[in-house]
């Protein structure tokens, strides 16, 4: 069945009271002051489509694409509007109708979302080729002699955003099963897609923190994409396929917790129940999965995190909230509380900490101008804190803000709260081994 706003539970479309509480929370409305760029404006358009008062059109498709999907409106909404469900349904319908598609966009969507991100081994192979290209200095040479000018405009714009691929991927750093001296819990660790290729060390850090807190960690070496990228960009069928693969790989009844360390992925991962509600086989498994899915910060605080006895020196840290971690998963206090456990670490609050940085999945690709405005705003606030480290908990935010700080010439480094905690544990362990 093709996705359609007409087939959506109409009560979801009726939830919006048009009170306007979402307006000051919406980055695109704040930037343009246009009603159609606000959550309630977009919901009005969606409802008009559902009521056959408005036909699907390129203009409607553009508006759905212009939305960041940051879900700040859900946090601000007093009526509990399920905006995420509405937006994903609208985007899926737009995609199904083939609106605003060009040969180039269809080609890259096929290569990425229907190709690489459906086949983890192929994605790793592509990552290894990119690593080789970077390691041999070809990327540097390519840029230095100006060959980037020969690329098509879209690729020329994207080339500077290419992340540095890690030397080792997660399976080279983490054994399939690792057991602590005294085990209290049995957990599954999700390694992600971009996370695996770019931030594999973060997955190692996450495993170490879980081990230090009494968790037996299961990390299958080949894991599918969670489907978040597909769900947010209109590929509903692919998102369902990937959700089933994840459940098959991680039977939820076998684990006390299924751990995510990526804010954006985690928000999608904990809603498999709704995604697979119509599937007679997977619906009950998906419901159980949702009860087991935990963000790493949430899990550690829920079951009691061991405070390190050794700090990292005098370190001033500020924290940026990933949109889907704070607005989608409602995990805001836990990362800050974990940082406060580290002796000597000074945490300073970041102004507009939960304001979108402009990454928003592939938003920095589809809407580069608006994304850049949000990035400049975010970087200005980060530099203003005087912190030496910015902590965040989402790979997209990490890459986006790191690029902005480089462009601004700032020496501020980016790390995850879990990485800082892991480093404190390791420092403590080394000190004890030296006694």
What pLDDT was estimated at residue 236?
86
Read off φ and ψ for residue 255, nearest 5 degrees: -130, 150
**Which is more confidently placed, 232 or 78?**
78
pLDDT of residue 409: 95
Q: Which of 227, 234, 180, 230 has the alpha carbon at shortest distance from 208?
A: 180
Asked whether the beta carbons of 100 and 170 are under 8 A apart, the reply is: no
pLDDT digit string, tens, across residues 306-347: 999 998 988 999 999 999 999 999 999 999 999 999 999 999
pLDDT confidence band for 38 (50 / 70 / 90): very high
Q: Which of 262, 285, 275 is nearest to 88 (CA)?
A: 275
Return all residues near 9 (Cβ < 8 A) that are at least 6 apart: none
What φ, ψ does residue 337 adopt, rounded to 5°?
-65, -35
pLDDT at 231: 87
Q: What confidence score (pLDDT) does residue 1 get?
A: 62
Q: Do 270 and 329 contact (CB within 8 A), yes or no?
A: yes
For the chain, list the domains and their CATH numbers: 5-97 (1.10.1060.10), 115-161 (no CATH), 170-303 (1.20.1050), 315-433 (3.40.50.1860)
Predicted confidence at residue 432, as pLDDT, reads: 65
What are the contacts of 125-128 at 24+ separation with CB within 8 A?
127/165, 127/169, 127/196, 127/197, 128/165
Residue from 266, 427, 432, 419 nearest 339 by CA? 419
3-state secondary structure of 184: coil
pLDDT tens-digit profile of 269-306?
999 999 999 999 999 999 999 999 999 999 999 999 99
Give the pLDDT confidence score for residue 143 in this predicted structure.
82
CA–CA dist 365, 371 (Å, integer): 8
Distance of CA 302 to the CA centre of its chain: 22
Please say whether the beta carbons of 392 and 320 come within 8 A. Answer: yes
Q: Which two tokens stand for residue 34?
A: 């246009």
Looking at residues 198-204, what average pLDDT do you find?
A: 96
pLDDT at residue 244 is higher than 90: yes
Give the least confident one: 3-12, 166-175, 189-198. Answer: 3-12
Structure tokens given for 109: 């969507």
Mean pLDDT of the chain: 92
Query: Distance of CA 427 to CAs 212, 308, 336, 430, Å?
Result: 13, 9, 21, 5
Q: Report the C-alpha dihedral over residues 108, 321, 239, 112, rounded to 10 degrees.
A: 20
Q: Is residue 172's pLDDT more than 60?
A: yes
pLDDT of res. 105: 76
Query: Which one is predicted more confidently, 194 or 161?
Result: 194
pLDDT at 234: 81
What per-residue confidence (pLDDT) applies to 435?
A: 53
Kindly indicate the confidence band of residue 379, based on its pLDDT and cuts at 50, 70 and 90: very high
Q: What is the pLDDT of residue 157?
A: 67
The confidence score (pLDDT) of residue 166 equals 95
Alpha helices per DSSP H over 166-295: 170-173, 194-198, 200-212, 228-232, 236-249, 263-269, 272-275, 283-292
CA–CA distance, 420 with 431 (Å, rounded to integer):
17
pLDDT of residue 155: 65
Mean pLDDT of 225-240: 89
Structure tokens at 114: 């229907």
What is the b/e burial string over 243-277, where b = at least 16 CB atoms within 10 angstroms of the residue's CB? bbbbbeebebeebbbbbbbbbbbbbbbbbbbebbe
Given a cut of 80, is residue 146 above it in pLDDT?
Answer: no
The answer to whether the CB of 196 falls within 8 A of the CB of 173 is: no
**How much is the average pLDDT of 69-77?**
95
Q: Are 231 and 84 in contact (CB under 8 A)?
A: no
Give CA–CA dist 203/198, Å, rounded: 10
Contact predicate 86/9, CB 8 Å: no
Task: Specify the pTM.
Answer: 0.92
Looking at the chain, the whole-number percentage of residues with pLDDT higher than 90 is 78
Rounded Cα distance between 425 and 262, Å, is 21
Residues 102-121, mean pLDDT to the nearest whole number: 86
What local confidence, expressed as pLDDT, does residue 349 receive? Answer: 97
Query: What pLDDT does residue 434 have?
Result: 56
d(CA 393, CA 266): 11
Q: Is 330 exposed, middle or buried (0-12, 13-18, 19+ CB in 10 A)?
A: middle
pLDDT category, 98, cuts 50, 70, 90? confident
84: which 2 tokens?
A: 């995420």
* Confidence band, pLDDT 50/70/90 cuts, at residue 102: confident
């Amino acid at each position: 069945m093709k996705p359609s706003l007409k087939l959506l539970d109409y009560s979801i479309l009726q939830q919006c009271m048009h009170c306007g509480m979402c307006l000051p929370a919406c980055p695109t409305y704040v930037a343009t002051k246009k009603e159609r760029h606000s959550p309630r404006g977009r919901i009005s358009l969606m409802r008009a489509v559902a009521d056959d008062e408005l036909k699907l059109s390129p203009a409607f498709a553009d508006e759905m694409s212009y939305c960041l999907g940051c879900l700040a409106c859900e946090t601000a909404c007093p009526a509990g509007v399920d905006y995420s469900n509405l937006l994903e349904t609208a985007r899926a319908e737009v995609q199904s109708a083939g609106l605003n598609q060009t040969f180039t966009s269809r080609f890259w969507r096929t290569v990425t979302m229907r190709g690489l991100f459906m086949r983890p081994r192929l994605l790793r192979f592509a990552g290894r080729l990119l690593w080789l290209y970077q390691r041999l200095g070809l990327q540097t040479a390519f840029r230095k002699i100006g060959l980037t000018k020969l690329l098509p405009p879209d690729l020329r714009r994207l080339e500077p955003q290419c992340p540095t691929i890690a030397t080792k991927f997660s399976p080279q750093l983490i054994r399939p099963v690792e057991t602590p001296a005294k085990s209290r819990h049995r957990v599954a660790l999700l390694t992600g897609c971009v996370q695996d290729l770019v931030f594999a060390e973060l997955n190692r850090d996450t495993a170490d923190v879980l081990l230090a807190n009494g968790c037996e960690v299961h990390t299958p070496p080949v894991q599918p994409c969670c489907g978040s990228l597909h769900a947010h960009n209109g590929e509903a069928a692919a998102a369902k396929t990937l959700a089933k693969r994840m459940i098959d790989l991680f039977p939820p009844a076998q684990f006390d917790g299924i751990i995510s360390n990526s804010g954006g992925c985690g928000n999608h991962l904990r809603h498999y129940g709704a995604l697979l509600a119509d599937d007679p086989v997977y619906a009950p498994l998906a419901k159980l999965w949702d009860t087991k899915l935990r963000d790493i910060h949430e899990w550690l605080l829920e079951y009691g995190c061991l405070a390190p006895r050794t700090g990292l020196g005098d370190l001033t840290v500020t924290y940026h909230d990933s949109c889907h971690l704070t607005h989608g998963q409602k995990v805001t206090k836990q990362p800050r509380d974990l940082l406060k456990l580290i002796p000597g670490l000074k945490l300073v609050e970041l102004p507009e900490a939960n304001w979108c940085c402009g990454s928003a999945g592939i938003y920095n690709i589809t809407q580069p101008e608006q994304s850049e405005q949000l990035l400049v705003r975010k970087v200005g606030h980060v530099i203003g804190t005087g912190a030496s480290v910015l902590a965040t908990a989402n790979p997209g935010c990490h890459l986006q803000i790191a690029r902005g700080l480089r462009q601004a010439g700032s020496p501020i480094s980016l790390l995850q709260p879990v990485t800082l905690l892991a480093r404190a544990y390791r420092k403590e362990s080394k000190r004890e081994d030296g006694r």
